[in-house]
Amino acid sequence: MRHALCVIGLILAGAVAAGAQQRPELTAPSDVAAAPADAAKSATGLASKLITPGTGTDKPSLEDYVIVHYTGWTADGRMFDSSYTRGTPSMFPLNRALLGWRECVQLMTVGEKRRCWVPQELAYRGAAGRPAGPVVFDIDLMSVYPNPNVAPPDVKGMPADAKRTSSGLGYRVLKTGTGTRQASPYARVTVHYTGWTTNGKMFDSSVARGTPTTFRLDEVIRGWTEGVALMVEGERTRFWIPEDLAYKGEAGSPRGMLVFDIELLKIDP
């Protein structure tokens, strides 16, 4: 529907699932039984080791939503869970994950891969049907999103440093993209997004649902059609969309100027 951005999606559980149906197991690392001497150890008992450096400097906060690929093994080398074998990364609010995950992922930057040795008291705590004892996770931190329920401070009005188009659309790039292509007004695109009203109320978010949204740019509000066409893949941009480029005061839709954070994940050929 042209004016509907609210897409029913899958709401993912926050904690790392254990015991999910798996495809063939991934080989356990040679140091799965115990953390090596060069692993960093914290006061809680967590040990971790950098496998691949990240690409940035910012680290997730406990309130952030993260996208990760991961594999988990028991200390005897049995793989019990893996997003890799399912073929899809996982997205969830970090504060709903295992205690050991919360601590480990907050050490990481986007693009980083880290191995974490998690003691039982920071893992499944002997819960029935869950792996007992210490567990080991290899975690790839793919992306971080601010908590969509917390509106950005500039949501009340378009700031002076925002760029403006002739239609009245305002925007500011939050994260530089990695691609070069821009979408046509009729392209199919896949995005993550969150929308707020100017009083700070979040009214729609693919981030909160845990799954991205795909649509044609000629099937959404005018501000989206114009704004997303300015972006390249991998870019995250904040848009201030006047009411005449949004829902135009329609009953049942958010009124007034709207603010969206949009990350363009993919432009279909």
pLDDT tens digit sequence for 100-140: 999 999 999 999 999 999 999 999 999 999 999 999 999 99
Question: Mean of the pLDDT values across residues 152-170?
Answer: 96
Q: Which is catalytic among the residues 124, 260, 262, 267?
A: 260
C-alpha 53/C-alpha 77 separation (Å) is 25
Question: Mean of the pLDDT values across residues 162-166?
Answer: 97
Q: Which has more confidence, 38 or 2?
A: 38
Does residue 193 carry a catalytic annotation? Answer: yes
Q: Which has more confidence, 179 or 117?
A: 117
pLDDT at 10 over 80: no
Question: Mean of the pLDDT values across residues 27-52?
Answer: 96
pLDDT at 22: 43
pLDDT at 3 over 70: no
pLDDT at 16 over 90: no
Q: Which is catalytic among the residues 137, 204, 239, 241?
A: 204
Q: Which is catalytic among the residues 193, 239, 241, 262?
A: 193
pLDDT at 137: 98
Q: Which has more confidence, 269 or 191?
A: 191
Domains and CATH numbers, the chain: 40-145 (3.10.50.40), 163-267 (3.10.50.40)
Global pTM reads 0.84
pLDDT at 5: 36
Q: Which is catalytic among the residues 203, 218, 244, 268?
A: 203
Q: Which is catalytic among the residues 65, 124, 137, 221?
A: 221
Mean pLDDT of the chain: 90
Does residue 203 carry a catalytic annotation? Answer: yes
Does residue 215 carry a catalytic annotation? Answer: no
With a pLDDT cut of 70, the percent of the chain lying above it is: 91
Q: Which is catalytic among the residues 247, 261, 262, 267?
A: 247
Residue 56's pLDDT band, with cuts at 50, 70 and 90, is confident
Residue 58's pLDDT band, with cuts at 50, 70 and 90, is confident
pLDDT at 13 over 50: no
